[in-house]
């Protein structure tokens, strides 16, 4: 069933139920009002008749008592009967086939007044006392007929069906109007092909659920488009980065094998091939690390990590491989408790991210020096500052430094793969850690890592 049909049926059912309850309430209240008026009339008739009949109580002539078997008259539309306390009929008018059972008689005497059925007519029985104080039971019956009630019932039924028909038409129309933007969105989505993923949906001017849906779709399309672009750029850059060293290795080996050379020339060629091979190994290793972060982010385990200990481990690891580096660490914290320096994360990945940042700073600094400062954040958590004395990053390059294989003008002359900062950004995103860059074009760059409060 289509949403439009389902909404229309639900709207019809809801409105019809409310309307039926409202009209039924009106009908029942009006019917009760007429019944009350009907029984008030019977009470008045019974009292007036009793007063007239019992005015001269000593001259009353008791009519012949009838039994149910002896009643052979046709039923009347009205009937009035008066009985004494012995259930002897004192007066009867148009009684017809009406007969008062013993149980009903005693009920009227005990209650004083009650509504009964006198034969096949609705009636009112009351207990009445004459002027002399004698007790009597007066029963007044009549046919309850109301043309107004019938007319009201017909009007309410006609109004109900007309209203339901109008509700069905209006519900179908307004459901179509409400779902029209959804249909337009579906049409636009169907026209989007892999070749034009950059096309966004037309956003409506209203700020309602449809507008939020369009914004959500556009955000999804942006992410898909960005993923496709990153994949294309990634494949292109990987092909380029791996092709260059392979071509150089092949060319060097072909030249070396072209004619006899001295051992020094062979050694020089082998050294160059070794450097190119190491460069390829570095690229391959970082690509594998990046693939692991992207593909296993849901299965990576997180534990409590002492950030100060991790920073010292990174420092020792880099100094062992590069003794020429200078790495200074400063803890600007006022507490020595271990719990104050703990963060939640994966130790291997965080160590990889911080070591990449520190190694880049040492690599691009003329004095090979980097300064690390660990301090408490303004809104909780920990902040790690990594500062170098390098040439700085131009403002135009700042938004691009985390893209894979991007290398600015300053970095193009230095060895590297262009994957390190992209890998750092992916790892920090996985740890919900923000990174900010402050760079002075005249020299010096500061990376600020803001770790969330554990």
The string of pLDDT tens digits covering residues 24-44 is 999 999 999 999 999 999 999
CATH class of 209-293: mainly alpha
Which residue spans of the chain are classified as CATH 3.30.450? Answer: 3-149
From CA 140, how far away is CA 41, in angstroms rounded?
Answer: 9
Q: What is the mean pLDDT of residues 214-242?
A: 71
Check residues 322 and 221 and name the one with the higher pLDDT: 322
- pLDDT reported for residue 286: 65
Check residues 3 and 304 and name the one with the higher pLDDT: 304
Question: Range with the lowest mean pLDDT among 157-161, 286-290, 316-320?
Answer: 286-290
Which residue spans of the chain are classified as CATH 3.30.565.10? Answer: 298-451
pLDDT-derived band of residue 408, with 50, 70 and 90 as boundaries?
A: low
Q: What is the mean pLDDT of residues 405-430?
A: 66
pTM given for the model:
0.47
- Does the pLDDT value for residue 390 go beyond 70? yes
pLDDT-derived band of residue 2, with 50, 70 and 90 as boundaries?
A: confident
Dihedral sign from CA coordinates of 207, 210, 214, 215: positive
Architecture of domain 3-149: 2-Layer Sandwich (3.30)
From CA 112, how far away is CA 30, in angstroms rounded?
Answer: 27
pLDDT per residue as tens digits for the range 121-179: 899 999 999 888 889 999 998 888 878 888 989 999 999 999 999 999 988 888 887 77
> In what helix (H) or strand (E) does residue 142 lie, and over which residues does it extend?
strand 135-142
At a CB cut-off of 8 Å and minimum separation 6, what does 171 contact? Answer: 7, 8, 11, 12, 15
Q: Give the other-Cβ count within 10 Å of 43's Cβ.
A: 15
Q: What is the mean pLDDT of the chain?
A: 80
298-451 CATH choice from 3.40.605.10, 3.30.499.10, 3.30.565.10, 3.80.30.20: 3.30.565.10
Q: Are 348 and 300 in contact (CB under 8 A)?
A: no
Question: Range with the lowest mean pLDDT among 183-187, 237-241, 354-358?
Answer: 237-241
From CA 188, how far away is CA 184, in angstroms rounded?
Answer: 6
């Amino acid at each position: 069933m289509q949403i439009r049909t389902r909404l229309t049926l639900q709207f019809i059912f809801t409105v019809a139920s409310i309307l039926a309850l409202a009209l039924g309430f009106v009908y029942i209240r009006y019917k009760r009002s007429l019944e009350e008026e009907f029984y008030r009339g019977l009470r008045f008739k019974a009292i007036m008749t009793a007063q007239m009949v019992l005015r001269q109580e000593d001259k009353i002539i008791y009519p012949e008592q009838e039994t149910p078997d002896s009643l052979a008259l046709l039923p009347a539309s009205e009937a009035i009967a008066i009985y004494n306390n012995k259930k002897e009929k004192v007066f009867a008018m148009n009684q017809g086939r009406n007969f008062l059972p013993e149980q009903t008689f005693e009920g009227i005497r005990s209650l004083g007044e009650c509504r009964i059925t006198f034969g096949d007519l609705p009636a009112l029985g009351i207990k009445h006392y004459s002027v002399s104080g004698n007790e009597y039971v007066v029963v007044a019956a009549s046919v309850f007929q109301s043309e107004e009630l019938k007319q009201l019932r017909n009007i309410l039924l006609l109004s109900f069906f007309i209203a339901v028909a109008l509700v069905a038409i209006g519900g179908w129309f307004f459901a179509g109007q409400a779902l029209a933007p959804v249909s337009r969105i579906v049409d636009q989505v169907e026209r989007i092909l892999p070749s034009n993923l950059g096309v966004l949906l037309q956003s409506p001017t209203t700020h309602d659920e449809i507008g939020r849906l369009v914004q959500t779709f556009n955000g999804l399309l942006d992410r898909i488009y960005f993923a496709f672009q990153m994949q294309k750029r990634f494949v292109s850059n990987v092909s380029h980065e791996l092709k260059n060293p392979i071509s150089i290795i092949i060319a060097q080996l072909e030249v070396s094998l072209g004619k006899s050379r001295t051992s020094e020339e062979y050694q020089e060629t082998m050294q160059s091939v070794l450097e190119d091979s190491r460069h390829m190994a570095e690229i391959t290793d970082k690509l594998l690390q990046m693939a692991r972060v992207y593909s296993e982010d849901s299965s990576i385990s997180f534990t409590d990590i002492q950030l100060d200990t991790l920073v010292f481990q990174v420092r020792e690891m880099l100094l062992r491989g590069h003794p020429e580096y200078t790495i200074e660490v400063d803890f600007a914290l006022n507490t020595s408790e271990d719990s104050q320096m703990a963060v939640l994360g994966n130790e291997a990945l965080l160590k990889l991210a911080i070591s990449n940042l520190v190694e880049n700073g040492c690599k691009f600094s003329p004095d090979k020096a980097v300064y690390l400062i660990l301090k408490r954040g303004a809104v909780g958590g920990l902040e790690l500052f990594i500062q170098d004395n390098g040439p700085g990053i131009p403002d135009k390059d700042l938004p691009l430094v985390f893209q894979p294989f991007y290398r600015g003008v300053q970095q193009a002359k230095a060895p590297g793969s262009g994957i390190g900062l992209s890998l750092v950004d992916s790892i920090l995103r996985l740890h919900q850690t923000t990174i900010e860059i402050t760079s002075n074009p005249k020299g010096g760059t500061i990376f600020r890592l803001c770790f969330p409060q554990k």
